[in-house]
Amino acid sequence: MPIASPPTPAPSPGPRNYMPANALQLSQYQSTLHDPSNLSRTEFASLSALGPVYRKRYLVSLLSDCSQSELLFISQTIAPMLKRDFLTELPPEIALHILSFVHEPKTLARASQVSKRWHDLVHDEWLWKVMCEMHRFNIQTDATDDIDDDDEPNEESSKETERFPSHPMDPALQSLTARESMKRQEQSFLSSLGRTHRDKMGNPLLSYRKQFQYSYTLMSNMRRGGTRLRSHRMTIPAPDGGVVTSAALDSDRVIVGCANSKVLIYSATTGVLCRTLLGHEQGVWAVHLVSRGGYWDEPDNHAETSSNESARSPPDSPPTNGCVHSKYRRALGLDIPRKRRPGTAQRSESPGKPSDLCCTSEGWGQPNPIVVSAGCDKTLRVWDVVSGHCIYILQGHTATIRCVRVLHNRPIAVTGSRDTTVRVWDIQKGRLLRILEGHSHSVRCLDVCGNRVVSGSYDATCRIWNADTGNCLHVLTGHEQEIYSVAFDGVRVVSGGMDTTVRVWDAESGQCIALLQGHSALVCQLQLCPRTGLLATGGSDGRVITFDLHSYTSLQRIPAHDSSVTSLQFDSNFLITGGNDGRVRIYETQSGLHVRDLGERCESVWKVACKGGTCAVMCKRSGQMVIEIWTFLPRTLYL
């Protein structure tokens, strides 16, 4: 029987190539399969198993066969591929540390335009804080120390202005409007910069980047720019009748005291003459400006009498606050609850805040700024700046009053006179508090810090007083001739006089800790700055000398003027001097290098005051009294 053979099995399935569905996809697949670049990439990838050496040989063989233009193409293609954004790949802390080594702010500005990531890094606040410290900008107060949230214009202050209209020919009405407009513009500018930080008291501060921008622009204008807002010329009526004897300056006003018995008030933002205060019967020798607002910094139970024989209470000095017109009571803050500084129940035991070199002080909460003036008529006058009216005429001195200071955040004024006495006044209530006696000759100069007062006299001694008790704490003896200038920062007292020497005293012990020499004539100008560790002195020999407060060695000896130095003022960047040779000069504080002369040369410079980007120059030119108001602020603030 035949046997049937088994069925033949089907062939095993072999590899099948993918076939695209349509003809277009079929053609694209065939072209990709036979593309030379695809074949070379496949060959290059297969060399990975042999090692990197073979891959490099493969690349070298390809490059050796390339033409010049092909090599250029390869180079241009490879260069972008090799670039790496190292700042983006690094942690932010390390990236910021690297950027902190950039000292030029323009370089940082260009770096911020590289990418969004770089822009965010460059705008970090820590970086600009380092830049502020590197350029010695005051981080907290360069652009904001004169700006207070309580200083906004209010309806009541404007009503006070309307109640006391000026003379029709007096430009005060026009200038006040312009001043308030400029103030609002400044506030708007600072607000646009962005306040992102607050100090220990909770007050808003500018961001470090915007504050650096503000300060850097200000410093650049001090070097090469600046705008003269106004130049006022007044004919001198009599010999020395129009001489400027004193000046005070804040962010809003320039106060000028003249030997012709006038007190002039100018706008610091427009340079316009706002008011002329008339009332003194003879020449004005001292002025002081108390800014509006602020806090009350006086203990409620402070002593009003003294157990020391050197101070005595006046026999007939009843308080006059009950006789003050109601319109002035508010201007003085008599009817306003006391506003203490946040976080303090009473004044601390620290040395206190030193006086301002521009003869201004912080207010005690009063809504209007106050001007205090004194002179040859032996009276101390208290003026309301808003109305221009004299509120108090305080009498008691028996000779010319040569100097006056007002304590910060307290309505306490201290005066020194040729009658050898120092007197303490309450300028809010209009009364004499106490008489400080002890000097045997004319009191020529004063300085205050906290509640302590330093007086310098022609009897060649300085005295340190407690203004609240009237006690004489120390008598500083050592000068051989008259003392013409003193400076006090709460820790040190510096005095200069006719004997051409400068002495530094310890305020706590009263001991002389340094004797500084270098001048060949009277030392008439002093500035002491513990923050920068510098002391600057100016003499009648025309020389300005800076000393290190730590080693008490001279740093710079600058032949600033051909005759006496009449004004001296410095900060961490610039030193400004004025002299009888008719020049106003600006120097670098650290190096002593001459930067520029401000304005044209005149016959004589009486006073120079500079603060917050505003500079006032009082001089004599062509036989006339000239007062020039300069601004170095960014142009957006005064245009």
Q: Tell me the DSSP string of 60-79.
A: HHHHHT--HHHHHHHHHHHH
- Which of 121-142 are b and which e, b meaning 16 or more Cβ less than 10 Å from the residue's Cβ? bbebeebbbbbbeeeebbbbeb
SS3 115: coil
* Maximum pairwise Cα distance, the chain: 163
Residue type at 391 in one-letter notation: I
- pLDDT, residue 154, reads 42
536 versus 172: which is more confidently predicted? 536
Q: Distance between CA atoms of 266 and 244, rounded to whole angstroms?
A: 14
Task: Report how far Cα 116 is from the mean position of its chain's Cα atoms.
Answer: 33
Per residue, the 3-state secondary structure of 319-371, as one string, reads CCHHHCCHHHHHHHCCCCCCCECCCCCCCCCCCCCECCCCCEECCECCCCCEE
Q: Is the pLDDT of residue 161 over 60?
A: no
Q: Where are the alpha helices (DSSP H) in 241-296?
A: none
> Contact at 8 Å (CB) between 119 and 113?
yes
Identify which of 557, 558, 519 has the alpha carbon closest to the alpha carbon of residue 540: 519
433 φ/ψ angles, rounded to the nearest 5 degrees: -90, -50
Q: Is the pLDDT of residue 346 over 80?
A: no
Which DSSP category does 22 fall into? S
> From edge to edge, which strands make up the β-sheet containing 370-375?
360-361, 284-290, 370-375, 380-384, 390-394
- pLDDT, residue 46, reads 83
Sequence spans of domains, the chain: 244-296+352-637
Q: Distance between CA atoms of 350 and 273, rounded to whole angstroms?
A: 40
Q: What is the pLDDT of residues 261-294, one digit of tens each?
A: 999 999 998 999 999 999 999 999 999 999 998 8
pLDDT (average), residues 609-638: 87
pLDDT (average), residues 599-623: 92
- pLDDT, residue 313, reads 60
> Contact at 8 Å (CB) between 226 and 236?
no
Q: Distance between CA atoms of 411 and 304, rounded to whole angstroms?
A: 14
- pLDDT, residue 331, reads 86
Q: Distance between CA atoms of 543 and 482, rounded to whole angstroms?
A: 20
Instruction: Tell me the CA distances in angstroms from 219 to 215, 343, 395, 592, 638, one per residue in order.
Output: 6, 35, 44, 16, 16
CB atoms within 10 A of CB 537: 27
- Residues 313, 354, 140: CA angle, nearest 5 degrees: 145
pLDDT (average), residues 360-371: 93
Q: What is the pLDDT of residues 428-474, one digit of tens each?
A: 999 999 999 999 999 999 999 999 999 999 999 999 999 999 999 99
Write the class of the CATH domain 244-296+352-637: mainly beta
> Contact at 8 Å (CB) between 445 and 279?
no
DSSP calls for 216-253:
HHHHHHHHH--EEEEEEEEE--STTTT-EEEEEE-SSE
- pLDDT, residue 348, reads 46
Q: Is the pLDDT of residue 396 over 90?
A: yes
- pLDDT, residue 451, reads 93
SS3 307: coil
- pLDDT, residue 173, reads 35
Q: Characterize the bridge pairing of strands 284-290 and 360-361.
A: parallel
> Contact at 8 Å (CB) between 306 and 436?
no
Q: Distance between CA atoms of 433 and 413, rounded to whole angstroms?
A: 10
Residue 161 tokens, joined: 């202005």
Q: Tell me the average pLDDT of the chain.
A: 81
> Contact at 8 Å (CB) between 456 and 438?
no
Q: What is the pLDDT of residues 297-330, one digit of tens each?
A: 766 544 444 444 456 666 555 555 556 667 788 8
Environment class of residue 101 by beta-carbon count within 10 Å: exposed (0-12), middle (13-18) or buried (19+)? exposed
Q: Distance between CA atoms of 443 and 418, rounded to whole angstroms?
A: 6
Q: Distance between CA atoms of 534 and 527, rounded to whole angstroms?
A: 8
Task: Report how far Cα 538 is from the mean position of its chain's Cα atoms.
Answer: 22
Instruction: Tell me the CA distances in angstroms from 549 to 368, 454, 461, 503, one per residue in order.
Output: 38, 19, 22, 12
Q: Characterize the bridge pairing of strands 390-394 and 401-406.
A: unpaired
pLDDT (average), residues 151-175: 37
Identify which of 560, 515, 553, 554 has the alpha carbon closest to the alpha carbon of residue 539: 560
- Residues 130, 132, 133: CA angle, nearest 5 degrees: 65
- pLDDT, residue 160, reads 37
pLDDT (average), residues 535-554: 95
Q: What is the pLDDT of residues 185-225, one digit of tens each?
A: 444 444 444 444 454 445 545 688 888 888 888 888 999 88
Residue 307 tokens, joined: 């157990």
Q: Distance between CA atoms of 388 and 165, rounded to whole angstroms?
A: 10
Q: What is the pLDDT of residues 57-110, one digit of tens each?
A: 888 888 888 899 988 988 888 888 777 777 888 888 888 888 888 888 888 888
- pLDDT, residue 240, reads 57
SS3 266: strand
pTM to 2 decimal places: 0.76
The confidence band for 586, taking pLDDT boundaries of 50, 70 and 90, is very high
- pLDDT, residue 195, reads 40
Q: Distance between CA atoms of 545 and 568, rounded to whole angstroms?
A: 11
Q: Distance between CA atoms of 29 and 33, rounded to whole angstroms?
A: 6
Q: Distance between CA atoms of 596 and 570, rounded to whole angstroms?
A: 15
Residue 191 tokens, joined: 């607000």
Identify which of 511, 527, 510 has the alpha carbon closest to the alpha carbon of residue 571: 527
Share of the chain above pLDDT 90, in %: 49
The confidence band for 295, taking pLDDT boundaries of 50, 70 and 90, is confident
Q: What is the pLDDT of residues 4-23, one digit of tens each?
A: 555 555 555 554 544 455 55
Residue 597 tokens, joined: 């002369």
pLDDT (average), residues 366-377: 95
Which DSSP category does 169 fall into? T
Phi-psi region of 333 (alpha: psi -120 to 50; beta: other; left: phi over 0): left
Instruction: Tell me the CA distances in angstroms from 295 to 55, 148, 266, 346, one per residue in order.
Output: 79, 11, 26, 11
- pLDDT, residue 8, reads 55
With a CB cutoff of 8 Å and minimum separation 6, the contacts of 492 are: 504, 505, 506, 507, 513, 528, 530, 549
> Contact at 8 Å (CB) between 257 and 287?
yes
> Contact at 8 Å (CB) between 518 and 543?
yes
